[in-house]
Structure 1
Amino acid sequence: MFGFGGKAHKEITPAALHAMLESGSALVVDVREPNEFAAGHIAGAVNLPLSRFAVADLPDAGGRAVVLQCAGGKRSGMALDRCAAAKAAIDTHLAGGLAAWAAAGYPVVR
């Protein structure tokens, strides 16, 4: 998929992300606002809202792949554009966001 700024973004499916989380090879960064995160999120996700998203504030993933996620994919794509502008290695987000994750039957922490 192409990003909003013309940069290529990698999208992964909920099944692929679930497998990565099960194997301990991914860190999910949820770019929704705190109230959205509190209402439901992927277990283990770190909240870094797009409204104050800065690449420098991304947590140390400890060798895991960082996967950005939002409600449906738009905001995580915007955050990926910021990562690309900062020349960060982060280029992947969850296709369809939390909505796709929940629709696929994966658990949401509430």
Structure 2
Amino acid sequence: MLAGLFNKLTGSTSVPAIEHDELVKAHQQRSCVIVDVREPHEFKGGHIPGAVNHPLSRFDPDSLVHDKPVVLICQAGGRSATALRRALAAGRQDIRHYAGGMSRWRAHGGPVA
């Protein structure tokens, strides 16, 4: 089901990204796990409801869930792209990042907890 969702990628092929509308749909359907790689104080300042916090400063791709696809997010896309590259290098295939980060999420009116 989510395979089709992730087939539509944006950005470079080395850093697969998910489009806003696709992330909204996946979030609503709970068909992915959203992992926020910002630091805890940033995460506490507002995050996508249901997201889990795995700060880039302590990011370990092996600690990510394995039963659902993962979408990484940060503030503007840089840290999530770094985390994505680490996860891909560790062999994860079911992972993408949201290139616009929380800035884009908020600009599109996405819910924030």
- Short-chain TM bin: 0.7 to 0.9
> How far does residue 15 in structure 1 lie from its aligned partner after superposition?
1.9
| Structure 2 counterpart of 1:93, from 88, 97, 100 | 97
5 Å-filtered alignment, 1:25-36, equals: 25-36=31-42
Alignment match, 1:105? 109
**What secondary structure sits across from 1:44 in the alignment?**
coil
Q: How much identity, in percent, do the aligned residues show?
A: 44
5 Å-filtered alignment, 1:38-77, equals: 38-58=44-64, 60-62=65-67, 64-77=68-81
Q: Please, which runs of 5 or more residues in structure 2 have no aligned partner? A: 1-10
Q: What is the CA–CA distance in structure 1 between the aligned matches of 2:30 and 2:101, rounded to whole Å?
A: 20
**What secondary structure sits across from 2:97 in the alignment?**
strand
Divergent runs of 4+, >6 A: none
> How far does residue 84 in structure 1 lie from its aligned partner after superposition?
1.8
Q: Summarize deviations over 1:1-42 as a string: whole Å, max 9, x none.
A: 23xxxx612211222111111112111000000000000000
- Counting matched residue pairs gives 103
> How far does residue 61 in structure 1 lie from its aligned partner after superposition?
4.9
Q: What is the CA–CA distance in structure 2 between the aligned matches of 1:35 and 1:72, rounded to whole Å?
A: 16
TM-score of the superposed pair, with normalisation by structure 2: 0.84
Q: What is the CA–CA distance in structure 1 between the aligned matches of 2:17 and 2:70, rounded to whole Å?
A: 12
> How far does residue 68 in structure 1 lie from its aligned partner after superposition?
0.4
| Structure 2 counterpart of 1:37, from 34, 43, 47 | 43
Contact 2:80 2:99 in 1 (8 A): no
CA RMSD in angstroms comes to 1.4
Change (3 A) 1:61 1:102: farther
Higher relative contact order (CA 8 A, sep 6+): 1
TM-score of the superposed pair, with normalisation by structure 1: 0.86
Equivalent position amino acid for 2:20 in 1:
P
